[in-house]
Amino acid sequence: MDELLLLLAKKGALRMPIRLTTVELGSLMGMSQQNASVRLRNLEKEGLVERPEGMIEISRAGLARIREQFLFLKRLLEPGNILLRGRVVEGLREGKFYMSLRGYKRQLERKLGFLPYAGTLNLELLPEFVEKRVELRSMKPVRIQGFEYKGRSFGPIDAYPCRIGSIDGAVIFPRRSHHGLSVIEIIAPVYLMGELRLRKGSELEVEVFLAR
C-alpha cells in the first residue's frame, strides 16, 4: 500500500477533505517537500485522491485500493475459511436449467468433484455477512469456463468449494447474474432443501474453503 495514501487515511481524508501542505506531508513522511509533492501528484493522477480547493480527499478509487490491500493483509495474518450466514429465499428458477447443461455439469464434476443437482439454493446474507461476500470475491475461484450451445452463449462461473452442514458443495457466482451483493447461490450433489429440511426463511450457515 502506498504509505502516503495510508497516512492521508489516518489523518481523516477518508471521511472528508483535509488541509495538509506538502511541507507538512514531507515532514510526516520523513522526506523533502518536493518528494511529497511528487508523490501526492502521482496519487492524484491515478485517481486515488482528489484536491478540491487546495484540500486533499481520498476518492472512491482510493478507498477501493485501501480495502483491497486490507483484505490481502487480512488473509496473510488471519488464514482460515470464510463463514457466511443467511436466510433461504426464492430464486428466479433459472438454476435448474443452467445446472442441467452439459457444458457446466462436466466441468463442475471434474473441477469440484461432484455432479451438481439440477438447481441452486439461494441464500440472502444477513447484513453483517455481506462484507464477507465481498472478501470472498477477492479470493481466487475455481473457474468454470463459458461455452456455446445451440447458438447461445453461456458465460463463465466462479465457484468456491464449501460445506453446508455435512454436505459438500460450492458457492457459485455466474458472470451473468440478476442477484445483488446480498444474495449467493449454492450448488451441491443433492437437493439441499430436502436433505436439510429447509424452507423459505430458514437460516443457514455456509463454510467456504479458501484455496491454499
183-187 and 203-208 beta bridge pairing: unpaired
Residue 64, pLDDT above cutoff 60: yes
Q: What pLDDT, on the 0 to 100 scale, is given for residue 88?
A: 96
Work out the mean pLDDT of the chain and round it to a whole number: 89
Taking residues 115-138, report their average pLDDT. Answer: 92
Question: What cell does 67 get?
Answer: 480495502
Judge whether residue 206 has pLDDT over 70.
Answer: yes
pLDDT at 41: 94
What residues contact 7, with CB distance under 8 A and at least 6 apart?
25, 28, 29
Q: Which residue ranges make up each domain of the chain? A: 3-77, 82-208
Residue 130 has pLDDT above 80, yes or no: yes
148-172 pLDDT, tens per residue?
Answer: 888 888 899 999 999 998 899 999 9
**Sorting pLDDT into bands at 50, 70 and 90, what band is 192?**
very high
> Model confidence at 75, in pLDDT bands (50, 70, 90)?
low
Look up residue 204 and give its three cell numbers.
443457514
User: What span, in angstroms and rounded, lies between the C-alpha atoms of 34 and 110?
Assistant: 57
Which superfamily does 82-208 belong to?
Riboflavin kinase-like (2.40.30.30)
**With bands split at pLDDT 50, 70 and 90, how would you rate the model's confidence at 69?**
confident
Architecture of the domain defined by 3-77: Orthogonal Bundle (1.10)
